[in-house]
């Protein structure tokens, strides 16, 4: 099993500053959830930065068959309901060429950190 960690950097601006967090979901080639995790909540920051590391255990032969879906959620302090701000995907079902290129760079990085900014798709 290969353990790897990579930094994903996101920025978003909303009219007010809600509480936000990021959910990461690893999916297999059929879209079945393999594992998931989420960041801590950034409270009231207009452009939060999530400086956290998550490790997903994926066999080397599976790297071309998985997708990592990254979703950003907001939560107003007065409401318990969450709202998806945006999302993107890396890996098998990358949401674009930029995301596919980042995935390829990470696979070739041999354990080194690969940082890249991504634009989120609207939910």
For residues 108-113, give the mean pLDDT: 86
What is the C-alpha separation between 15 and 38, in angstroms, rounded? 24
Task: Give the pLDDT score at 111.
Answer: 79
Mean pLDDT for the chain overall: 86
**Kind plus residue range of the DSSP H or E element containing 106:** helix 97-108
Q: Which residue has the higher pLDDT, 94 or 123?
A: 94
Question: With contact defined as beta carbons under 8 Å apart, do 72 and 22 qualify?
Answer: yes
Helices first, then strands: H and E counts in the chain: 1, 8
SS3 17: coil
Domains of the chain in start order, with CATH, are: 2-117 (2.60.40.150)
Query: pLDDT tens digits, residue range 43-97?
Result: 988 888 888 989 999 988 898 999 999 999 998 766 667 899 999 999 999 999 9
Task: Give the pLDDT score at 4.
Answer: 47
SS3 59: coil
Query: Residue 33 phi/psi, 5° resolution?
Result: -65, 125
């Amino acid at each position: 099993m290969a353990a790897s960690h990579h930094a994903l950097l996101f920025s978003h601006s909303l009219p007010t500053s809600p509480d936000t967090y990021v959910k990461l979901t690893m999916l297999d080639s059929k879209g079945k959830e393999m594992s998931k995790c989420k960041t801590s909540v950034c409270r009231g920051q207009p452009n939060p930065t999530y400086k956290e590391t998550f490790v997903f255990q994926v066999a080397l032969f599976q790297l071309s068959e998985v997708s990592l879906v990254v979703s950003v959620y907001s939560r107003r302090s007065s409401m318990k309901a969450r709202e998806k701000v945006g999302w993107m995907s890396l890996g098998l079902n990358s949401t674009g060429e930029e995301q596919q290129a980042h995935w390829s760079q990470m696979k070739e990085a041999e354990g080194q950190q690969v940082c890249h900014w991504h634009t989120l798709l609207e939910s």
